[in-house]
Every structure is written in C-alpha cells, then in structure tokens.
Chains A and B, each alone.
Chain A
Amino acid sequence: MSILVDKSTRVLVQGLGNTGEFHTDKAIAYGTQMVAGVHPTKAGTTFHFEGETDHSGVPGRDDTYSTDLPVFATVKEAVAETGANASVIYVPPPFAADAIMEAAAAGLDLVVAITEGIPVADMITVKRYLEGKPGRLIGPNCPGVITPGECKIGIMPGYIHQRGKVGVISRSGTLTYEAVHQLTGLGLGQTTAVGIGGDPVNGTSFVDVLRLFEHDEETEGVIMIGEIGGTAEEEAAEVVAKEMSKPVAGFIAGTTAPAGKRMGHAGAIVSGGKGTAEAKIEAMNDAGIVVADTPSGMGEAMRRALG
C-alpha cells in the first residue's frame, strides 16, 4: 500500500509549456501513467515523448520509451476520453487557480499544483470552491507526490527515492529531497513522499496527510518537515499526540530566520511573534515527536523514532 498515488493512478497534465513538458517527460521515464494533456490552443494535437527509461521508477520496463500524449481542450473532455483520475498543474500563476477549479469540477480524485506564485486571494477562492467536493488538492508551490516504484507526479528527482516504510510530509522541495536521500541512505525508504507546499494557503495540511499515513498499512513511521510561519505544525503536533499510533520524527527549518522577513516561500514568515521555529519545535517535542537538531540528522531522527 501507499497513499494518494500508486500504479493505477492515471494522470493528466494541465499546462504544457516548457516546464510542464520537461517534467511530463521525466514522469513518463519514471513509469507514471501520463494519459492526457490539457491545453486551450493545442487541443487535437499530440505531444511526443521518447528517451531512456528511468529504471529507478516502475520496474519491469524496456530500456527506452516512446509515447504520444493526446491533448484536449478541457479537463472534462480529457477525463471522459482517457479515464484520468489525477491531474498535475504547471499552469502559470495568473491562471493556475482556475485550472485547479477546473480539475476539481471534472471530478478528479487528486489535483497536484506545482505552480509557485499564485496570489493568496486566488487560493482563498479555490479553497472555498473545493468545500464539499470530493477531490483533494496538494500544493500549490510544492514538489508533488511520489510513491517510489509506482507513480511520480511532480518535479522531484525520482532516483533518490527507494520504496520502504516511511511516510514523508514536507512544506519544502529540496529539504524533502534531503530527507528522502537520508532515508534511502539508511535503508528505511519511503512509502509515499508528499510535498504540501510553501504557500500560506494550501490544499492539504500536515494533519490531513498524517491521518492518511496512520491508516496506511505499509507506513511504519512518518517524518514531517516544517518551517517557520503559520501554525500548521502546532496543529499537526496535537493530532500526533491524540491520534497517531505510529512513531513520528520531524524537523523545522528557520531557527535563524529574522522576524518579519519572508524566507523565499510565501508562507515562511514570522509575524507578530507567531510562527517561530521555537514554538513549533516545542509543540512537536511535547507531542512526542523526535525532532532532528540539524537538517543532516533527519533520517537519523526517523530511525530513532522507529526504535
């Protein structure tokens, strides 16, 4: 088992510009079932992808791949024609919120928004729109979701992953890679790694993913990687203390970040004394989470938590 994505996940891509095309190619090389593209002016055409298979991905494939991806005018049409059940969004920021709503309206189970720089007001509207709808949004401003050996949706490098027993949740991209790399190095591996994104308003929280991992049989422990800004980590710590039977490790970036400054991510800001690393680490310690002192000790913290 795993969470959110597996080998049956059929993915369509919204936004086939340079970035979208590049990562679609990497996903196909990994073995992800990319089934359709959506583009308002390129509908009716196909995108051709070919190259060397990424053997760190889905096992048992030929050494090369050659795929023609059909492009549709709307998500609804792409779903009807291909049976896609997930979407990945590379649409530029001014249009990304609309793309997310279109994907949700088409009934997709999972929408992964990679786009960085979506206005907060747009995301507030999106969250309101998603209320009561079954689909789940991951991101925006995130690296995506990967279940090693089965399905990679997003921009993370596939080869650092290894199928294993740890669930990974993170607000940061490269810091997730760092954690994944350490887990792989220690032979712990990952069930699924989920980047929830660095924006102040996002689709899925630590709490949501913690609960999914708690109910996933294959996941034996979870590592959550947070950073300054907001109170999502504190809320997650409460849920860990109350609901989680599995060991949880963690790390918080930004101990040295000055107050009032936005540290790269739109959501990484200490304001009015709220959202400090200290408060988050304290809440996590109180919840029994094994918090790594340094970013180089994340994997080790997980190993200790697993006992």
Chain B
Amino acid sequence: MKIHEHQAKQLLAARGIPVPAGQVARSVEEAAAAVRPLIEESNNPVVVLKAQIHAGGRGKGSFEEHRGLRGVNVITEGIEGGPAAAEEKVRRLSKKMLGSTLVTVQTGEEGKTVNRLYLEQGVDIATELYLAILLDRARSRNIVMASTEGGVEIEKVAEETPEKIIRAEIDPAIGLAQFQANELAHGLGLEGEVARNFQRFVKALAAAATELDADLIEINPLVVTGSGKVMALDAKMSFDDNALFRHPEIAEMRDESEEDPAEVAAKNAGLSYIKLDGKIGCMVNGAGLAMATMDIIKLYGSEPANFLDVGGGATKEKVTEAFKIITSDPKVKGILVNIFGGIMRCDVIAEGVVAAVKEVGLKVPLVVRLEGTNVERGKQILNESGLDVVNADSLLDGAEKILELTAPADGAL
C-alpha cells in the first residue's frame, strides 16, 4: 500500500527523523492559511508547494489543464514581499493545482488528479544524496541503498554508473549496525558532524522500516543543508499489505481516490483484480494461471482486459461479483473463464457463472474452460442453463474460441 509524501514525512518525523516543517492542505484556503505560520516557524521566507499524488516525477511533471505549471513549486515571493506576497502566490497556484491533472513520467498519459497539496518550508540545499531501504529478494534481507547521485532516478544511476550505489544488508536480529552506518557515511564522502547526522538518520530510517513493515522507503533527495543538517526533502513509502493488520494507523492512511475504483471494489470482495487495456475479460483461479491466461490471449494476437484471480475458495457470490466487475468495463468484448479446479469445484464455478449471467445479463461472448474436480457436473450445469456459453476443452481451445468470437468481421484480430 502506498501513502502520500506528507503522510510518510509525518511517520518519519514521529520517529525523530529530520524532515522540513510542513502542512497538508485540501483546499485553497487551507493552503493560504498555512503560509504565514510556516514562514514564522521556520524563519525562512521561502516555501514550497507540492502536489500530493501516488507517483514520482512531480517536479518535472506538468498539469494537463495548465501547461507549464509544475507539480512542485518553490515560492520565493516572501523574500521581498513578506508572508502576504507568498500567501498570494500560494493562493493563485493552489487554485490551479487542486482538482487538476498532473502528468509525470510515472503516472502514464492519463495523469492523476491532485486532491491535496503539501506546503513546506524552503530548505538551503548544499548536497543532494539518495537513500532507500528495500527488500533484497535474493538475500531475503532488507538492504540500505545509498548514492551520491541524489535527485535523479536511481534506475538510471544503476544502469549508467552502478559503482555510485553503495549497499548495506540489515540483519533482522541486529538491525543496521553502527559500523555499517559509518561505512555508508564514508562511502558517501561525508565527514565530521554531517557524517554523524547521516549515521543517526540512516539508523533511525532502518529501524522505522522494520517497525512499520515498510516494503520501500525512498528518500530522494536526502539533503545536507548549508548548516550541515541531514534531512528528507522527499519521502516515498509503501507498506506490506500482509502486515497492515498490525498497523491500523497506517491502514487508515489509504487514499482510495488514488486507486482504480474497480480494483477497490474487487479488493473489498476479496478478489485480486487489475485492470488492463484489452478487450478480453478473464476470470481465472490462481495467480499464476491468471497471468498465463492473459499471456496466451496476447500471444494469439488480442489483449487481455484484466487480471482476475478468484482465489482457491471462491464461492458462488464471489464468482458473481467477479463477473460484475469484468462486465462493468465497457472495453470488454468477450469473456474467457479458465478454471483448473483442484480444491475449487467446477460445479460451484458453473453455478456462480449461471447466477451472475442471470443477474447482470450477458452482452458479449462467453467461453468457459473447466478442468478438474466435478468437471462433468460443471459442464452439465452450464449446458442445461440455456445460456449462450461456449465450452472449451483446454486452455488452448478456450483462447482460440474467445479470439474467434471477438474478432472483428473483417477477420483482423
């Protein structure tokens, strides 16, 4: 689960990790009202207004409705004109940013609607660094990744100058040891008080990752200020969904407006669903088989409309819900149901399909491939239902049939 920058900074600050002072705003008024206290508190006339969306690249991203307006804006009007001038600028920009669509390299062409802003004190930046904590799957450990190349995409650094990335492995029984923090500071070329500030920062960050079950914390950039402080200028955090049960305060930070509505509905129904752009809806049991079903559709020249795993213990109700979600996508021109019933009984799936079609109707071709436990009974239920269902004998047969049925009249797929 992802959270916003302002939420991540709140979690970090609560753990003694230095972040700039800031205030979240959901309206123009809230944004404007935050300016004066922030300038007075930080004793710095410069403030920064940042769009809050679950995607990076905001500083370089631009608004669809206001070309040229960036997702992150440094407001310097306060230097000459005092808090009132800064307030005026914030008001003007907030009006444009709120409710508009920010397009960045990470949002895709459709962009994301900005519903909240974060107003932050300006920071006197001497150096920009990169720091992250993430899982190293091959080692089954969390690692710290750091680089002197702050403020740019780490994937690019890894590609072009991998020697500029340094790592330290976190032993779950010990945490990040002091010597590792020293090594990291040394590797980044930090010295004296700055090095000590960095060591405290990275140790606290590693502890926070463990405490909060974060699967990623990325501080990019981590900055050293003119006076030698080390602080998180940006903060990206995401969490292990499977551990949210022990972090209710983080679960509450979920912003469903950042997620696809159909995916939210599916999650609430206990289904694993991901919307895609194609025209063939898929309903499958098991994640691996669901991916493989998408792959075979693509290989035969069409595109899957979704990933959908109904799970091992699907009930008639779950199948019905899955059907509703698939058919609510107007792009869907045909549906392929692919079930390998091991524990999942084919007759239960068949009953679910029949009930769903009766409830929501069926306007597109439906191909059903059933295999496994009670397969004959399942096929019988479908055949006797009087519904226009095409039976398939294998995964290959199912893919061929749904492609044929959804092919345009001119024969092109």
A121 lies within 8 A of B240 (CB): yes
B288 lies within 8 A of A257 (CB): no
B296 lies within 8 A of A295 (CB): yes
User: Does B14 lie at the interface of the complex (its beta carbon under 8 Å from any beta carbon of A)?
Assistant: no
Interface residues of A in 223-241 (CB under 8 A from B): 225, 227-232, 235
Tell whether A175 pairs with B137 under 8 Å between CB atoms, given A157-B343, A296-B394.
no
A227 lies within 8 A of B288 (CB): yes
Tell whether A173 pairs with B291 under 8 Å between CB atoms, given A121-B240, A157-B372.
no
Question: From A235, which residue of chain B is reached at the shortest CB distance?
Answer: B138
- A interface footprint on B115-156 (CB within 8 Å = 1, 0 otherwise): 000000000000000000001011011100000000000110
Tell whether A155 pairs with B343 under 8 Å between CB atoms, given A264-B287, A264-B290.
yes
User: Does A51 lie at the interface of the complex (its beta carbon under 8 Å from any beta carbon of B)?
Assistant: no
- B interface footprint on A139-176 (CB within 8 Å = 1, 0 otherwise): 00001000000000001110010000000001111111
B243 lies within 8 A of A175 (CB): no
A263 lies within 8 A of B307 (CB): yes
- B interface footprint on A1-45 (CB within 8 Å = 1, 0 otherwise): 000000000000000000100110000000000000000000000
The answer, among B135, B296, B343, for a CB contact under 8 Å with A200, is: B135
Report B398 CB to chain A, min CB distance, Å. Answer: 9
Interface residues of A in 54-78 (CB under 8 A from B): none
Question: From A297, which residue of chain B is reached at the shortest CB distance?
Answer: B396
A121 lies within 8 A of B243 (CB): yes
Tell whether A253 pairs with B288 under 8 Å between CB atoms, given A120-B242, A121-B210, A124-B142.
yes
Question: From A292, which residue of chain B is reached at the shortest CB distance?
Answer: B292
State which of A80-88, A103-111, A242-250, A265-273 sits at the interface with chain B.
Answer: A265-273
Q: Give chain A residues whose Cβ lies under 8 Å from the Cβ of B341.
A: 157
How many B residues, CB 8 Å from partner?
A: 57
Report B289 CB to chain A, min CB distance, Å. Answer: 4
User: Does B245 lie at the interface of the complex (its beta carbon under 8 Å from any beta carbon of A)?
Assistant: yes
Task: Give Cα A14 to B137, complex, Å.
Answer: 27
Residue of A19, A156, A254 ringed by the most chain B CB atoms within 10 A: A254
Q: Give chain A residues whose Cβ lies under 8 Å from the Cβ of B291.
A: 227-228, 253-254, 256-257, 263-264, 268
Task: Give Cα A231 to B289, complex, Å.
Answer: 20
A93 lies within 8 A of B342 (CB): no
User: Does B62 lie at the interface of the complex (its beta carbon under 8 Å from any beta carbon of A)?
Assistant: no
Question: From B289, which residue of chain A is reached at the shortest CB distance?
Answer: A174
User: Does B88 lie at the interface of the complex (its beta carbon under 8 Å from any beta carbon of A)?
Assistant: no
A sample of 19 more A-B contacts (CB under 8 A), given A127-B140, A253-B288, A253-B292, is A23-B343, A93-B242, A119-B242, A125-B173, A143-B342, A155-B312, A157-B372, A172-B289, A175-B288, A178-B292, A227-B287, A232-B138, A258-B276, A264-B286, A264-B287, A264-B307, A268-B291, A294-B295, A294-B296
Q: Which 3 A-B pairs have the closest CB atoms?
A: A172-B288, A264-B287, A174-B286
